Amino acid sequence: MELKFDVNEYLPLRDVVFQTLRQAIITGELAPGERLMEIPLAKQLGVSRTPVREAIRMLELEGLVVMIPRRGAEVARITEKDLRDALEVRCALEELAVVLACQRITPEGRERLKAACIAFREAISTKHVPSIVDTDIAFHDAIFSATQNPRLITLTHNLWEQVYRYRVEYVKDFSYHDVLVTEHDAITNAILLGDSQMGQEVMRRHIYNQEAIVISNVHSKSKSKEAAREQ
């Protein structure tokens, strides 16, 4: 594994290490349950153990890392409780955004939303997970931008960082891609028509379909690991 380490002269070294490890965790480069050993990480990043240790403590405070007795630090696993908690909040914010977007979207906002919907469909056709995730974020960002509510946008951006790992997980399931495109198309059409009720219904289904996909994948991985241990 090659961690991308960009030194920033304006940030303390521990913060640069923190951002590097954090990005690797939320993108799945460092997998749930993977151990974070100070010496190997320090060697790979070309730093001493101290900023690595401090960064791991910061990640623990964010809930991205847990300390396991006699094992040390490891990447926090994705749990059903964490997923449901995060998606309950996300669903409420996304439904509100659809309602406000139906009321407030400008001509420029309409074009941005349509372009984002098309870009997502094109990314899906590539099967390139990072591109799909990026265009999915851009699509939902276009909806929130259309609300013209800066506070709502800020709240949502903070939450998106917490659910990024879940986004990556459901996008990895290629069998669900056609459904994602259909849902995005339906949400776009509802907003362009100003149909807030339809938009809310589709958005709610869109978010909770993601929950079902991620939970199913988590269960599948858990069963695979159990089977491997029994062999």
> Which has the higher per-residue pLDDT, 79 or 93?
93
pLDDT bin (cut points 50, 70, 90) of residue 224 is low
Q: Are 78 and 165 in contact (CB under 8 A)?
A: yes
Task: Tell me which fold the domain 13-75 belongs to.
Answer: Arc Repressor Mutant, subunit A (1.10.10)
Cα separation, 104 vs 192, whole angstroms: 11
pLDDT digits (tens, 9 = 90+) for 84-115: 888 899 999 999 999 999 999 999 999 999 99
The SS3 of residue 10 is coil
Would the pLDDT of 204 be above 60? yes
Domain limits, the chain: 13-75, 80-225
pLDDT digits (tens, 9 = 90+) for 136-174: 999 999 999 999 999 999 999 888 877 877 888 788 888
pLDDT digits (tens, 9 = 90+) for 27-70: 778 988 999 999 999 999 999 999 999 999 999 987 789 999 98
Would the pLDDT of 229 be above 80? no
pLDDT of residue 219: 64
pLDDT digits (tens, 9 = 90+) for 112-146: 999 999 999 999 999 998 899 999 999 999 999 99
- What is the percentage of the chain residues whose pLDDT exceeds 70? 90
Q: Kindly report the backbone phi and psi dihedral angles of residue 35, in degrees, each rounded to the nearest multiple of 5, phi listed first.
A: -75, 145
Asked if the 80-225 domain carries CATH number 3.40.720.10, the reply is no
* Long-range Cβ contact pairs of 186-190 (< 8 A, separation 24 or more): 187/98, 187/143, 188/113, 188/114, 188/117, 190/98, 190/102
Would the pLDDT of 77 be above 80? yes
* Long-range Cβ contact pairs of 2-9 (< 8 A, separation 24 or more): 3/29, 3/41, 3/44, 3/45, 5/45, 5/46
> Which has the higher per-residue pLDDT, 54 or 223?
54
Helix axes 38-45, 49-62, angle to 10 degrees: 110
pLDDT of residue 120: 97
Q: Kindly report the backbone phi and psi dihedral angles of residue 114, in degrees, each rounded to the nearest multiple of 5, phi listed first.
A: -65, -40
pLDDT of residue 9: 53
pLDDT of residue 158: 81
pLDDT of residue 101: 98
pLDDT of residue 167: 83
Helices (H), 172-230: 177-193, 196-230
